[in-house]
Structure 1
Protein backbone atom coordinates (compact mmCIF):
# COMPACT_ATOMS: atom_id res chain seq x y z
CA UNK A 1 0.00 0.00 0.00
CA UNK A 2 1.47 3.32 -1.03
CA UNK A 3 1.68 6.10 1.45
CA UNK A 4 -0.48 9.15 0.89
CA UNK A 5 1.55 12.12 -0.16
CA UNK A 6 0.86 15.56 1.25
CA UNK A 7 1.56 18.79 -0.58
CA UNK A 8 3.96 21.04 1.26
CA UNK A 9 2.83 24.05 -0.74
CA UNK A 10 -0.57 25.43 -1.56
CA UNK A 11 -1.57 25.96 -5.17
CA UNK A 12 -0.78 29.58 -6.16
CA UNK A 13 -3.76 31.60 -7.32
CA UNK A 14 -1.85 34.45 -8.96
CA UNK A 15 1.37 34.96 -10.86
CA UNK A 16 4.57 36.22 -9.32
CA UNK A 17 7.27 38.43 -10.75
CA UNK A 18 6.76 40.65 -13.78
CA UNK A 19 5.63 37.91 -16.19
CA UNK A 20 2.74 35.67 -15.25
CA UNK A 21 -0.76 34.68 -16.25
CA UNK A 22 -2.00 38.27 -16.07
CA UNK A 23 0.85 39.37 -18.34
CA UNK A 24 -0.24 36.92 -21.04
CA UNK A 25 -3.84 38.03 -20.52
CA UNK A 26 -2.76 41.61 -21.10
CA UNK A 27 -1.09 40.62 -24.37
CA UNK A 28 -4.34 38.95 -25.47
CA UNK A 29 -6.18 42.17 -24.59
CA UNK A 30 -3.73 44.14 -26.72
CA UNK A 31 -4.38 41.79 -29.64
CA UNK A 32 -8.16 42.25 -29.47
CA UNK A 33 -7.95 46.00 -28.89
CA UNK A 34 -5.43 46.30 -31.71
CA UNK A 35 -7.95 44.64 -34.01
CA UNK A 36 -10.63 47.08 -32.81
CA UNK A 37 -8.51 50.13 -33.56
CA UNK A 38 -7.36 48.61 -36.84
CA UNK A 39 -11.01 48.26 -37.84
CA UNK A 40 -11.77 51.87 -36.88
CA UNK A 41 -8.75 53.20 -38.79
CA UNK A 42 -9.71 51.09 -41.80
CA UNK A 43 -13.25 52.51 -41.57
CA UNK A 44 -11.82 56.03 -41.61
CA UNK A 45 -9.70 55.22 -44.68
CA UNK A 46 -12.61 53.49 -46.42
CA UNK A 47 -15.00 56.39 -45.88
CA UNK A 48 -12.35 58.84 -47.06
CA UNK A 49 -11.88 56.86 -50.27
CA UNK A 50 -15.51 57.06 -51.29
CA UNK A 51 -15.13 60.22 -53.32
CA UNK A 52 -16.17 62.82 -50.75
CA UNK A 53 -15.14 66.23 -52.03
CA UNK A 54 -15.00 67.60 -48.48
CA UNK A 55 -13.03 64.98 -46.53
CA UNK A 56 -12.47 66.19 -43.88
CA UNK A 57 -15.42 68.61 -44.30
CA UNK A 58 -13.65 71.62 -42.77
CA UNK A 59 -10.14 70.72 -43.93
CA UNK A 60 -7.40 68.93 -41.98
CA UNK A 61 -7.91 69.22 -38.21
CA UNK A 62 -5.84 71.93 -36.54
CA UNK A 63 -2.72 70.86 -34.68
CA UNK A 64 -2.92 73.61 -32.05
CA UNK A 65 -4.18 71.22 -29.35
CA UNK A 66 -3.27 67.88 -30.89
CA UNK A 67 0.51 68.41 -30.82
CA UNK A 68 0.78 69.41 -27.13
CA UNK A 69 -1.64 66.59 -26.27
CA UNK A 70 0.56 64.13 -28.14
CA UNK A 71 3.69 65.41 -26.40
CA UNK A 72 2.00 64.99 -23.02
CA UNK A 73 0.82 61.45 -23.70
CA UNK A 74 3.99 60.14 -25.31
CA UNK A 75 6.16 61.87 -22.72
CA UNK A 76 4.14 60.29 -19.92
CA UNK A 77 5.27 56.84 -21.04
CA UNK A 78 8.90 57.76 -20.39
CA UNK A 79 8.01 59.20 -16.99
CA UNK A 80 6.02 56.10 -16.04
CA UNK A 81 8.85 53.80 -17.10
CA UNK A 82 11.23 55.84 -14.92
CA UNK A 83 8.78 55.53 -12.03
CA UNK A 84 8.42 51.77 -12.46
CA UNK A 85 12.15 51.15 -12.51
CA UNK A 86 12.72 53.25 -9.42
CA UNK A 87 9.91 51.51 -7.55
CA UNK A 88 11.30 48.10 -8.49
CA UNK A 89 14.69 49.15 -7.12
CA UNK A 90 13.04 49.98 -3.80
CA UNK A 91 12.88 53.77 -4.26
CA UNK A 92 9.18 54.16 -3.47
CA UNK A 93 9.42 57.96 -3.27
CA UNK A 94 10.62 58.41 -6.83
CA UNK A 95 8.16 55.79 -8.01
CA UNK A 96 5.32 57.72 -6.38
CA UNK A 97 6.50 61.03 -7.84
CA UNK A 98 6.71 59.52 -11.33
CA UNK A 99 3.26 58.01 -10.98
CA UNK A 100 1.81 61.37 -9.92
CA UNK A 101 3.44 63.17 -12.84
CA UNK A 102 2.18 60.51 -15.27
CA UNK A 103 -1.36 60.87 -13.95
CA UNK A 104 -1.17 64.65 -14.34
CA UNK A 105 0.14 64.32 -17.91
CA UNK A 106 -2.60 61.82 -18.80
CA UNK A 107 -5.23 64.13 -17.32
CA UNK A 108 -3.76 66.99 -19.36
CA UNK A 109 -4.10 64.90 -22.50
CA UNK A 110 -7.76 64.21 -21.70
CA UNK A 111 -8.44 67.88 -20.99
CA UNK A 112 -6.91 68.98 -24.31
CA UNK A 113 -8.82 66.27 -26.18
CA UNK A 114 -12.13 67.28 -24.62
CA UNK A 115 -11.38 70.95 -25.38
CA UNK A 116 -10.81 70.02 -29.00
CA UNK A 117 -14.10 68.14 -29.06
CA UNK A 118 -15.87 71.21 -27.69
CA UNK A 119 -14.27 73.44 -30.35
CA UNK A 120 -15.37 71.26 -33.28
CA UNK A 121 -17.90 72.92 -35.62
CA UNK A 122 -19.73 69.59 -36.08
CA UNK A 123 -21.58 67.08 -33.92
CA UNK A 124 -21.46 63.30 -33.82
CA UNK A 125 -24.34 62.68 -36.22
CA UNK A 126 -23.64 65.47 -38.72
CA UNK A 127 -21.74 63.41 -41.30
CA UNK A 128 -19.73 60.26 -41.92
CA UNK A 129 -16.57 62.13 -41.05
CA UNK A 130 -17.91 63.48 -37.76
CA UNK A 131 -19.14 60.02 -36.77
CA UNK A 132 -15.83 58.26 -37.43
CA UNK A 133 -13.85 61.15 -35.91
CA UNK A 134 -15.69 61.04 -32.60
CA UNK A 135 -15.84 57.23 -32.59
CA UNK A 136 -12.10 56.81 -33.19
CA UNK A 137 -10.89 59.53 -30.83
CA UNK A 138 -13.58 58.70 -28.27
CA UNK A 139 -12.65 55.01 -28.19
CA UNK A 140 -9.05 55.95 -27.58
CA UNK A 141 -10.04 58.47 -24.91
CA UNK A 142 -11.97 55.73 -23.11
CA UNK A 143 -8.80 53.63 -23.07
CA UNK A 144 -6.85 56.57 -21.65
CA UNK A 145 -9.47 56.96 -18.92
CA UNK A 146 -9.18 53.26 -18.06
CA UNK A 147 -5.39 53.55 -17.93
CA UNK A 148 -5.63 56.60 -15.69
CA UNK A 149 -7.96 54.72 -13.35
CA UNK A 150 -5.41 51.90 -13.06
CA UNK A 151 -2.59 54.38 -12.37
CA UNK A 152 -4.65 56.20 -9.75
CA UNK A 153 -5.35 52.91 -7.96
CA UNK A 154 -1.64 52.06 -8.12
CA UNK A 155 -0.80 55.51 -6.75
CA UNK A 156 -3.30 55.11 -3.88
CA UNK A 157 -1.83 51.69 -3.05
CA UNK A 158 1.64 53.21 -3.04
CA UNK A 159 0.56 55.97 -0.65
CA UNK A 160 -0.96 53.31 1.63
CA UNK A 161 2.23 51.25 1.48
CA UNK A 162 0.54 48.32 -0.26
CA UNK A 163 2.79 48.26 -3.33
CA UNK A 164 6.28 47.34 -2.28
CA UNK A 165 8.65 44.53 -3.09
CA UNK A 166 6.94 41.56 -4.72
CA UNK A 167 4.40 43.75 -6.53
CA UNK A 168 6.44 44.18 -9.69
CA UNK A 169 3.67 42.60 -11.76
CA UNK A 170 1.14 45.28 -10.80
CA UNK A 171 3.52 48.01 -11.88
CA UNK A 172 4.56 46.12 -15.01
CA UNK A 173 0.98 45.54 -16.18
CA UNK A 174 -0.13 49.13 -15.57
CA UNK A 175 2.96 50.41 -17.39
CA UNK A 176 2.49 47.99 -20.26
CA UNK A 177 -1.13 49.06 -20.72
CA UNK A 178 -0.16 52.75 -20.65
CA UNK A 179 2.51 52.17 -23.30
CA UNK A 180 -0.11 50.42 -25.45
CA UNK A 181 -2.48 53.38 -25.13
CA UNK A 182 0.31 55.74 -26.18
CA UNK A 183 1.31 53.66 -29.21
CA UNK A 184 -2.32 53.46 -30.35
CA UNK A 185 -2.58 57.24 -30.10
CA UNK A 186 0.31 57.63 -32.53
CA UNK A 187 -1.66 55.64 -35.12
CA UNK A 188 -4.80 57.67 -34.38
CA UNK A 189 -2.80 60.91 -34.67
CA UNK A 190 -1.33 59.85 -38.02
CA UNK A 191 -4.78 58.88 -39.28
CA UNK A 192 -6.77 61.91 -38.13
CA UNK A 193 -4.21 64.71 -38.27
CA UNK A 194 -1.41 63.73 -40.63
CA UNK A 195 -3.02 61.71 -43.42
CA UNK A 196 -5.35 64.55 -44.58
CA UNK A 197 -2.25 66.73 -45.07
CA UNK A 198 -0.65 64.17 -47.37
CA UNK A 199 -3.30 64.19 -50.11
Structure 2
Protein backbone atom coordinates (compact mmCIF):
# COMPACT_ATOMS: atom_id res chain seq x y z
CA UNK A 1 0.00 0.00 0.00
CA UNK A 2 1.40 3.38 -1.01
CA UNK A 3 1.02 6.25 1.41
CA UNK A 4 1.23 9.92 0.42
CA UNK A 5 2.07 12.38 3.13
CA UNK A 6 0.72 15.86 2.57
CA UNK A 7 1.11 18.74 4.93
CA UNK A 8 -0.70 22.04 4.79
CA UNK A 9 1.94 24.80 4.88
CA UNK A 10 -0.50 27.69 4.51
CA UNK A 11 0.19 28.78 8.09
CA UNK A 12 3.94 29.14 7.58
CA UNK A 13 5.26 32.72 7.42
CA UNK A 14 6.04 34.12 3.97
CA UNK A 15 9.17 35.94 5.13
CA UNK A 16 11.68 35.81 7.97
CA UNK A 17 14.69 37.56 9.43
CA UNK A 18 18.31 36.47 9.30
CA UNK A 19 18.89 32.78 8.51
CA UNK A 20 15.12 32.25 8.25
CA UNK A 21 15.12 34.41 5.11
CA UNK A 22 16.09 33.18 1.65
CA UNK A 23 17.59 36.54 0.61
CA UNK A 24 19.80 36.45 3.73
CA UNK A 25 21.36 33.21 2.47
CA UNK A 26 21.73 34.79 -0.96
CA UNK A 27 23.56 37.71 0.64
CA UNK A 28 25.79 35.26 2.54
CA UNK A 29 26.71 33.52 -0.71
CA UNK A 30 27.29 36.86 -2.40
CA UNK A 31 29.57 37.99 0.43
CA UNK A 32 31.50 34.71 0.29
CA UNK A 33 32.14 35.21 -3.43
CA UNK A 34 33.06 38.85 -2.96
CA UNK A 35 35.29 38.01 -0.02
CA UNK A 36 37.15 35.53 -2.21
CA UNK A 37 37.55 38.22 -4.86
CA UNK A 38 39.04 40.53 -2.25
CA UNK A 39 41.33 37.73 -1.02
CA UNK A 40 42.65 37.11 -4.55
CA UNK A 41 43.25 40.84 -5.11
CA UNK A 42 44.99 41.16 -1.73
CA UNK A 43 47.13 38.12 -2.58
CA UNK A 44 48.15 39.73 -5.88
CA UNK A 45 49.00 42.98 -4.08
CA UNK A 46 51.13 41.19 -1.46
CA UNK A 47 52.86 39.12 -4.14
CA UNK A 48 53.82 42.26 -6.05
CA UNK A 49 54.92 43.87 -2.79
CA UNK A 50 57.14 40.86 -1.99
CA UNK A 51 58.86 40.60 -5.39
CA UNK A 52 59.62 44.28 -5.93
CA UNK A 53 62.60 45.84 -4.13
CA UNK A 54 60.84 49.22 -3.92
CA UNK A 55 57.19 49.66 -3.11
CA UNK A 56 55.22 51.48 -4.32
CA UNK A 57 56.65 51.24 -7.85
CA UNK A 58 57.32 54.65 -9.36
CA UNK A 59 54.94 56.53 -7.06
CA UNK A 60 54.61 57.91 -3.58
CA UNK A 61 52.12 56.27 -1.18
CA UNK A 62 48.49 57.43 -1.37
CA UNK A 63 47.58 60.53 0.61
CA UNK A 64 46.18 59.40 3.95
CA UNK A 65 43.31 61.82 4.49
CA UNK A 66 40.66 60.38 2.11
CA UNK A 67 41.00 56.78 3.29
CA UNK A 68 41.24 57.81 6.92
CA UNK A 69 38.14 60.00 6.61
CA UNK A 70 36.34 57.02 5.10
CA UNK A 71 37.33 54.79 8.03
CA UNK A 72 35.86 57.33 10.47
CA UNK A 73 32.60 57.62 8.50
CA UNK A 74 32.33 53.84 8.06
CA UNK A 75 32.80 53.18 11.75
CA UNK A 76 30.32 55.90 12.75
CA UNK A 77 27.82 54.53 10.20
CA UNK A 78 27.49 51.35 12.25
CA UNK A 79 25.38 53.31 14.77
CA UNK A 80 22.55 54.45 12.44
CA UNK A 81 22.80 51.12 10.61
CA UNK A 82 22.10 49.20 13.84
CA UNK A 83 19.31 51.61 14.79
CA UNK A 84 17.73 50.92 11.39
CA UNK A 85 18.12 47.18 11.93
CA UNK A 86 16.34 47.30 15.29
CA UNK A 87 13.57 49.49 13.88
CA UNK A 88 13.08 47.02 11.01
CA UNK A 89 12.75 44.11 13.46
CA UNK A 90 10.07 46.11 15.32
CA UNK A 91 8.50 47.06 11.94
CA UNK A 92 8.64 50.71 12.94
CA UNK A 93 8.02 52.28 9.54
CA UNK A 94 8.82 55.90 10.50
CA UNK A 95 12.21 55.01 12.01
CA UNK A 96 13.06 52.66 9.14
CA UNK A 97 12.33 55.43 6.64
CA UNK A 98 14.57 57.83 8.57
CA UNK A 99 17.29 55.22 8.96
CA UNK A 100 17.32 54.37 5.25
CA UNK A 101 17.53 58.04 4.29
CA UNK A 102 20.42 58.58 6.73
CA UNK A 103 22.23 55.48 5.45
CA UNK A 104 21.71 56.54 1.82
CA UNK A 105 23.20 59.98 2.59
CA UNK A 106 26.15 58.35 4.37
CA UNK A 107 26.71 56.10 1.38
CA UNK A 108 26.62 59.04 -1.03
CA UNK A 109 29.09 60.94 1.18
CA UNK A 110 31.39 57.90 1.11
CA UNK A 111 31.17 57.74 -2.70
CA UNK A 112 32.22 61.41 -2.82
CA UNK A 113 35.14 60.66 -0.48
CA UNK A 114 36.03 57.68 -2.67
CA UNK A 115 36.28 60.03 -5.64
CA UNK A 116 38.82 62.08 -3.69
CA UNK A 117 40.64 58.89 -2.76
CA UNK A 118 41.04 57.87 -6.40
CA UNK A 119 42.39 61.36 -7.11
CA UNK A 120 44.90 61.05 -4.24
CA UNK A 121 46.32 57.59 -5.00
CA UNK A 122 49.35 59.32 -6.56
CA UNK A 123 49.42 56.76 -9.37
CA UNK A 124 47.43 55.94 -12.47
CA UNK A 125 45.95 52.53 -13.16
CA UNK A 126 48.19 52.16 -16.23
CA UNK A 127 51.37 53.52 -14.63
CA UNK A 128 52.75 50.24 -13.22
CA UNK A 129 51.75 46.93 -11.65
CA UNK A 130 51.41 48.83 -8.38
CA UNK A 131 49.01 51.34 -9.91
CA UNK A 132 46.98 48.58 -11.54
CA UNK A 133 46.49 46.52 -8.38
CA UNK A 134 45.69 49.58 -6.23
CA UNK A 135 43.05 50.79 -8.68
CA UNK A 136 41.66 47.25 -8.97
CA UNK A 137 41.27 46.80 -5.21
CA UNK A 138 39.78 50.26 -4.72
CA UNK A 139 37.49 49.70 -7.71
CA UNK A 140 36.26 46.39 -6.29
CA UNK A 141 35.34 47.96 -2.99
CA UNK A 142 33.76 50.97 -4.72
CA UNK A 143 31.53 48.57 -6.65
CA UNK A 144 30.32 47.05 -3.39
CA UNK A 145 29.78 50.47 -1.85
CA UNK A 146 27.82 51.70 -4.87
CA UNK A 147 25.75 48.49 -4.95
CA UNK A 148 24.75 48.91 -1.32
CA UNK A 149 23.96 52.60 -1.76
CA UNK A 150 21.74 51.74 -4.73
CA UNK A 151 19.97 49.04 -2.73
CA UNK A 152 19.47 51.42 0.19
CA UNK A 153 18.00 54.12 -2.05
CA UNK A 154 15.61 51.62 -3.66
CA UNK A 155 14.48 50.35 -0.25
CA UNK A 156 14.02 53.91 1.01
CA UNK A 157 11.80 54.72 -1.97
CA UNK A 158 9.80 51.50 -1.52
CA UNK A 159 9.21 52.35 2.14
CA UNK A 160 7.44 55.54 1.06
CA UNK A 161 5.06 53.67 -1.25
CA UNK A 162 2.33 51.05 -0.94
CA UNK A 163 5.11 48.42 -1.08
CA UNK A 164 6.04 49.15 2.54
CA UNK A 165 4.71 45.81 3.74
CA UNK A 166 6.03 43.57 6.54
CA UNK A 167 8.13 41.57 4.05
CA UNK A 168 10.14 44.71 3.17
CA UNK A 169 11.35 45.01 6.77
CA UNK A 170 13.16 41.71 6.26
CA UNK A 171 14.79 43.22 3.15
CA UNK A 172 15.95 46.16 5.25
CA UNK A 173 17.65 43.82 7.75
CA UNK A 174 19.40 42.05 4.86
CA UNK A 175 20.59 45.44 3.58
CA UNK A 176 21.90 46.29 7.06
CA UNK A 177 23.73 42.96 7.12
CA UNK A 178 25.39 43.67 3.76
CA UNK A 179 26.44 47.16 4.88
CA UNK A 180 28.31 45.61 7.80
CA UNK A 181 30.21 43.50 5.25
CA UNK A 182 31.10 46.62 3.24
CA UNK A 183 32.41 48.29 6.42
CA UNK A 184 34.40 45.24 7.57
CA UNK A 185 35.87 44.73 4.10
CA UNK A 186 37.18 48.31 4.00
CA UNK A 187 39.22 48.15 7.22
CA UNK A 188 41.92 45.69 6.04
CA UNK A 189 41.90 47.28 2.58
CA UNK A 190 42.59 50.66 4.15
CA UNK A 191 45.60 49.24 5.98
CA UNK A 192 46.80 47.51 2.82
CA UNK A 193 46.44 50.47 0.48
CA UNK A 194 47.36 53.36 2.79
CA UNK A 195 49.81 51.93 5.31
CA UNK A 196 51.63 48.98 3.69
CA UNK A 197 53.29 51.33 1.13
CA UNK A 198 54.72 53.27 4.09
CA UNK A 199 56.45 50.25 5.66
Distance 1:54 1:87, change over 3 A: closer
The separation in 1 between residues aligned to 2:11 and 2:132, in whole angstroms, is 50
Shift of 1:31: 1.3
The one-character-per-residue Cα deviations of 1:26-45 (angstroms, maximum 9, x if unpaired) are 21221111111011011111
**5+ residue gaps in structure 2?**
none
- How far did 1:167 drift? 3.3
- Unpaired runs of 5+ residues, structure 1, are none
Q: Please state how far the C-alpha of 1:120 moved relative to its aligned partner.
A: 4.1
In the superposition, the TM-score normalised over structure 1's length comes to 0.86
| Change beyond 3 A, Cα 1:134–1:72 | same
Partner residue, 1:57: 58
Q: Cα RMSD between the aligned structures?
A: 2.6
Deviations 1:79-134 (A, max 9, x none): 12211212332332222112111111111111111122134443211101110010
How many Å separate the matches in 1 of 2:163 and 2:177? Answer: 20
Higher mean C-alpha deviation, range 115-124 or range 40-49: 115-124
Residue-pair matches, total: 198
2:31 and 2:175 mapped to 1: Cα distance? 13
Q: Which has the higher helix share?
A: 2
Describe the SS at the equivalent of 1:167. helix
CA contact (8 A) 1:17 1:167 kept: no
**Equivalence map 1:18-167=2 (5 Å):** 18=18, 19-55=20-56, 57-167=58-168
Tell me the TM-score normalised to structure 2 length: 0.86
Q: CA deviation at 1:182?
A: 0.9
